[in-house]
Structure 1
């Protein structure tokens, strides 16, 4: 439904005021009731104020989430902090799926939690590498890309609206793309299926929430150096603990990472520098205020050029394939640079055994520049030998400002019949991007980029200066009100009911035409979730869930028209199994997802996107993570997709399978450290990744073959030192990860060997 922006602002103000009053009223009533029952609640009134019992507050099952964490994994019998370290590969709790501190075995949705120990075992330096052993996930869809992260969940792209950091969206549009360094993460949580009722955004395939490292109760220090393939060298540090104040209310953490070197593409660097200070103030057992910041600079180039199907998947006319190391851009200006910053805080106050309020706020900034020659045009016209690659020049300058705040009020109570964990929330985001893109096609005068001989490349200076074809100032605002109730009928059966109302406003100011082609729209949408899970005493937990999604889309099509919101619906059923004390967690899930108004590449103008009608994804996934016995940790998964185009303006592709997506994936990763004896501390492991076939064109006439990759690692722990060597794609297999079209195929990651030495105290 379309409205004007003034109506949106008025509605936003009314809703903000109304919800704020409602929450304050409810909290006030609860506190008044508490003062009248101090003997029952374990608190006392003093001069009109309420004095809380710290021990009672901190013992709540869904208590403090935003405070300091331990610097080490929880010991036997100790509860796991949902933002803290994980013992081995098996996580117990998460706050991503339900925004409450709920055990994974009581969560009626499929989720994978990848902890710091697994990230270190894999030496995962990118989010792509971190998620490649997760069920329902295809990471690195567009090959090895040192600029961006491309991940698909259950067959749908989540790289744009589905990447989160500490529960707040990073929102990646155009080339204004955020990319958080994985060394700064404590966890990566892959939530599959719609999450719109709590987050207000993300595809029905799911979201990925990155949980950053935060201040610790106990002091510690960590340093690491390493290097390896393509001349890469890096150094990292991580310090944390009490800040030294005599009252013991302040805690800190400082994390830093820097690397420089090359990539598998000739002449393209991969330099990155990251620092993340964090500070927590904890005046008492009921209140925490944590400041989370990060600054990052990246300098690289285009490593995932658009290459033709013939010459990558299949040999070209001479029976040869395009070298994987070919720099399609000219080495002198194949440039991608990004500066980004995050500044935010998380506040939490526990009023009593019933009420807790939280506020999660962040401002994010990114400045991105890219200038490069790229492919996507195939071979030059008349090139019978298929050795001359046609190219065009692409220039982008994007600047992003993103403000977000998520306010929550959580109440745990019993109505006399059932136990409730009631969550009410109001969130708001304000996103602004200055999106400037140009090519030689738009230049005045028009100029051509020289063809590139793929076997004897000759580089030179830029042939001209790209002209702008898009100079837009996009603003996007979204206000959401949500409520969720986890209703425990008894100790085994839990129902989850949730609903959300969103109000979105999207405006595009076309600076290239002085606003003549500016456009915009306002939309509202309602989403909901109904779910149930039954927990048997021996660890079996069958569940079922039905949920819907609503995703407003940013930007315009080739005709300068803003896009309709994307909607989706999903039904998921499965079973979880976590036998008490056995050290493993097993999940089976089946799903059926319908997604409408899906964006895809415009077949007649690849610089813009178009909207499909409807795509359906059905499938099955299995995941197991296990601490098998002392020293052995395992993660494995299997996924099979059934993806089809249900409706589209192009009737020829109805019933066809969308491009880029493999028909199935399977993987297993294991890490073993010898716990006793003469070889104590020595360890080894590795993994196998299988990716099935996919289609390279919408008509489904071209296939990308399946492939298998092998990873390996060895390490040795001595005292506080650790030496480790990791090798991914150890056989150095050359493979195509996917194709978007006949002239848009992407090579996957080459063999990467990294050695590291670390010291912890």
Structure 2
């Protein structure tokens, strides 16, 4: 399918899911009413006071959320408290070492990971720094269930596959609020501004609404620290890259009511593609106001400017994966566009707040609100058309121009009640959220303007000025709104056995206004009920088997060849697994098996591949394993294994029984970092990683295979007083590999060797 086809490249169309169960509605409604009544009775019976700690029988104790930050280099653990005890981890704060213990992503409550009946991995700031991960793609390369960098060395957008399904459109979140990517409008978040990255696998629609059944990735921003923080870092490396960063914050007043943080980074340099820059400016001011122990307001803002190019390239299978008829392979450094106008620019800004108030020991109210803005522009020659000569030495190209503007408003209101009904302990969450996504999308090509684009020699490329100015073939104003009401109850049936029940009713509306021709305007409204039921048993020695069933719902923006709006996609998953976290052992192991069905999947229209039809169903059945460990003083390790069988159950005749393109079904990884704790080499550290990615397919018929590959990473570092110096190398052998192919004419080279040296100082 050509890049100019609707809705976009190379992100697949937004997907949607709808699951209805009258029995589930009745059951959950009854549970919700019973819990609300019990909560009211518990509140009346206890005569509580603001800020008081809950009695033991009231369930999981309320804990004041920490506003601690990091800004540290790798290896700096969380501060100790009196007696050497480890402080309670905040679900939005730093992770001590590599092993996280709590998260608020899977349940929207402060829940220990060992009590969460769903597969989730937390990548903390120390691990991000140890791996010198400069993008979200790089930061998730050692996470189970995730295939990062589907479209290769693309500097514009982060691409992900979760359990076999695309998560780059509906599956990216920041601070629990969605980052919708559609058309050519997209967000990309700077990793230096992240405190932790949380990968939740499996459907999460019951709490978050529209989304893929594969899961989501929540990027948690750095927040103002309780203690003074001063941190600076400079570095540089491959392709002429150089950067400077700072992170400062702490208390503003002596009374402990006001805290601030200011984080920033500037980066300049090139990429593995000749003449393609990768420049960025990022600044993130934030502050926290805590008038008392029961109330907290944190304001989070950021601005980011990106200047880069189309670096993923759309290259033919023969000439990348396999030699072409002339026995040649295309250079990774080839700029298929033109250094003069291979352009991609983006400005994006976030402004929002997180408010929390505890009325008493039972009820807490939270409101998370944010407005997100992104404006981008792209103008470039694109391959994707194959060769123009029999010797396969010249690439056919076309010119593509797009400008997009996104406005996204979201608010999530939550009321949480922790109480006992006399028999069971409850953590009841009631929420109402709303999102409003507006996209102005302008796309044009040389085809629409009526001129041709010169082809390009892969042996001796010659560049020149643009052949013309593309004219639009699409000018749309797209809107998507969603209102959701959800209820979740985490019930302690015994001290060890927990039951999690949740239900959500969504009201979604999407509209497309055709501003160019006026004939393509369309829209539809959809309602959906999604639900989840899960159970987990916690043995006292750290073993926790669990089982869950959940559904998903995802509206689909766009129309088929007849102009009819697409129906929502639906999805459901059954997952069973076991978690193991022996007390004091310093490691966390998760094993999970899953079976996911996804219906109403879009697929190319055989009669006209520029358009799509909605008749697909895909099934993903697999197994995952994730180990995160801080085994000894200075030793940290991460290991992951994923394998699944991804097959098209319903579709066009040539799709049924086949594996969708772009998607490897087996991958595994291991990363180890060790810092010598004593002796003459004290504070010297080293380590590395290995990543294996299995084969995938480049065509619907599964006749063109993209082979598997193995990559090696390495790092050395040294800490001296407040200084830290480090050198990191990824793909240290500089292996040339193809990360995936979308078709026989759209293959993508993965990252070349990247070496980064950094020097930081903290005081």
Provide the TM-score with structure 1 as the length reference: 0.92
How far is the alpha carbon of 1:248 from its aligned partner? 2.1
How far is the alpha carbon of 1:663 from its aligned partner? 2.3
Evaluate the alpha carbon distance shift between residue 376 and residue 429 of structure 1 in structure 2; reply closer, same or farther with a 3 A threshold: same
Check if 1:241 corresponds to 2:250: yes
Aligned to 1:699: 701
2:458 pairs, out of 449, 454, 457, with 454
Check if 1:63 corresponds to 2:63: yes
How far is the alpha carbon of 1:611 from its aligned partner? 3.4
Q: Decide whether the 8 Å contact of 1:238 with 1:255 is kept in 2.
A: yes
Residue deviations 1:333-387, cap 9 Å, x none? 100000000000000001111111100000000001000000110001xx12100
Evaluate the alpha carbon distance shift between residue 634 and residue 229 of structure 1 in structure 2; reply closer, same or farther with a 3 A threshold: same
2:475 pairs, out of 454, 458, 471, with 471
How far is the alpha carbon of 1:70 from its aligned partner? 7.0
Q: In 1, distance between residues paired with 2:347 and 2:576?
A: 42
How far is the alpha carbon of 1:77 from its aligned partner? 3.3
Residue deviations 1:448-479, cap 9 Å, x none? 11000011111111111111111000011000
Alignment of 1:403-552 (within 5 A): 403-443=409-449, 446-513=450-517, 515-552=518-555
Q: In 2, distance between residues paired with 1:140 and 1:352?
A: 46
How far is the alpha carbon of 1:61 from its aligned partner? 3.0
Unaligned stretches of 5+ residues in structure 1: 1-18, 44-50
Q: In 2, distance between residues paired with 1:401 and 1:625?
A: 38
Aligned to 2:667: 665
Aligned to 2:15: none
Q: Decide whether the 8 Å contact of 1:707 with 1:735 is kept in 2.
A: yes
Aligned to 1:589: 592
SS at match of 2:672: strand
Q: In 2, distance between residues paired with 1:123 and 1:306?
A: 28
Q: Decide whether the 8 Å contact of 2:51 with 2:361 is kept in 1.
A: no
Residue deviations 1:11-37, cap 9 Å, x none? xxxxxxxx9xx99x9799959956x85
Aligned to 1:46: none
Q: Decide whether the 8 Å contact of 1:66 with 1:348 is kept in 2.
A: no
Aligned to 1:652: 654
Q: In 2, distance between residues paired with 1:200 and 1:566?
A: 13
Aligned to 2:692: 690
Higher RCO, 1 vs 2 (CA within 8 Å, ≥6 residues apart)? 2
Q: In 2, distance between residues paired with 1:182 and 1:559?
A: 42
Q: Decide whether the 8 Å contact of 2:52 with 2:361 is kept in 1.
A: no
How far is the alpha carbon of 1:628 from its aligned partner? 1.0
Residue deviations 1:123-147, cap 9 Å, x none? 0000000000000110001111000
Check if 1:632 corresponds to 2:635: yes
Aligned to 2:740: 738
Q: Decide whether the 8 Å contact of 2:715 with 2:728 is kept in 1.
A: yes
Evaluate the alpha carbon distance shift between residue 418 and residue 70 of structure 1 in structure 2; reply closer, same or farther with a 3 A threshold: farther
Aligned to 2:754: 752
Q: Decide whether the 8 Å contact of 1:162 with 1:206 is kept in 2.
A: yes
Aligned to 2:601: 598
How far is the alpha carbon of 1:62 from its aligned partner? 4.1
Residue deviations 1:244-263, cap 9 Å, x none? x2432100110001100000
With 315-324 and 549-558 compared, the bigger mean Cα shift is at 549-558
Residue deviations 1:477-503, cap 9 Å, x none? 000000011111111110111100000
Aligned to 1:16: none
SS at match of 1:711: strand
Q: Decide whether the 8 Å contact of 1:82 with 1:95 is kept in 2.
A: yes
Aligned to 2:265: 257
Q: Decide whether the 8 Å contact of 1:54 with 1:286 is kept in 2.
A: no
SS at match of 1:613: strand
Aligned to 1:674: 676
Q: Decide whether the 8 Å contact of 2:54 with 2:62 is kept in 1.
A: no
SS at match of 1:476: strand
How far is the alpha carbon of 1:599 from its aligned partner? 3.3
Q: Decide whether the 8 Å contact of 1:74 with 1:80 is kept in 2.
A: no
Alignment of 1:147-546 (within 5 A): 147-243=156-252, 245-380=253-388, 383-443=389-449, 446-513=450-517, 515-546=518-549
Evaluate the alpha carbon distance shift between residue 345 and residue 412 of structure 1 in structure 2; reply closer, same or farther with a 3 A threshold: same
Aligned residues: 722
Q: In 2, distance between residues paired with 1:678 and 1:606?
A: 65
Residue deviations 1:402-424, cap 9 Å, x none? 00000000011111111111111
Aligned to 1:73: 78
Residue deviations 1:156-193, cap 9 Å, x none? 00000000000000111111100010000000000000
With 408-417 and 593-602 compared, the bigger mean Cα shift is at 593-602
SS at match of 2:667: strand
How far is the alpha carbon of 1:201 from its aligned partner? 2.1
How far is the alpha carbon of 1:73 from its aligned partner? 1.5
Evaluate the alpha carbon distance shift between residue 726 and residue 56 of structure 1 in structure 2; reply closer, same or farther with a 3 A threshold: farther
Evaluate the alpha carbon distance shift between residue 629 and residue 609 of structure 1 in structure 2; reply closer, same or farther with a 3 A threshold: farther
Q: Decide whether the 8 Å contact of 1:696 with 1:739 is kept in 2.
A: yes
How far is the alpha carbon of 1:517 from its aligned partner? 2.2
2:556 pairs, out of 553, 556, 560, with 553
How far is the alpha carbon of 1:63 from its aligned partner? 3.3
- Aligned Cα root-mean-square deviation (Å): 2.2
Q: Decide whether the 8 Å contact of 2:39 with 2:419 is kept in 1.
A: no
How far is the alpha carbon of 1:561 from its aligned partner? 3.3
Q: Decide whether the 8 Å contact of 1:501 with 1:527 is kept in 2.
A: yes
How far is the alpha carbon of 1:56 from its aligned partner? 8.9
Evaluate the alpha carbon distance shift between residue 576 and residue 74 of structure 1 in structure 2; reply closer, same or farther with a 3 A threshold: farther
How far is the alpha carbon of 1:318 from its aligned partner? 1.5
SS at match of 2:654: helix
Q: In 2, distance between residues paired with 1:277 and 1:56?
A: 38
SS at match of 2:715: strand
Evaluate the alpha carbon distance shift between residue 60 and residue 111 of structure 1 in structure 2; reply closer, same or farther with a 3 A threshold: closer
Q: In 2, distance between residues paired with 1:458 and 1:696?
A: 29
Q: Decide whether the 8 Å contact of 2:281 with 2:305 is kept in 1.
A: yes
How far is the alpha carbon of 1:598 from its aligned partner? 2.0
How far is the alpha carbon of 1:269 from its aligned partner? 0.1
Q: Decide whether the 8 Å contact of 1:546 with 1:569 is kept in 2.
A: yes
How far is the alpha carbon of 1:93 from its aligned partner? 0.4
Q: Decide whether the 8 Å contact of 2:43 with 2:362 is kept in 1.
A: no
Evaluate the alpha carbon distance shift between residue 407 and residue 641 of structure 1 in structure 2; reply closer, same or farther with a 3 A threshold: same
Q: Decide whether the 8 Å contact of 1:348 with 1:359 is kept in 2.
A: yes
Unaligned stretches of 5+ residues in structure 2: 1-28, 72-76
SS at match of 1:84: coil
Provide the TM-score with structure 2 as the length reference: 0.92
Q: Decide whether the 8 Å contact of 1:589 with 1:620 is kept in 2.
A: yes
Residue deviations 1:410-439, cap 9 Å, x none? 011111111111111000000000011111
How far is the alpha carbon of 1:559 from its aligned partner? 4.4
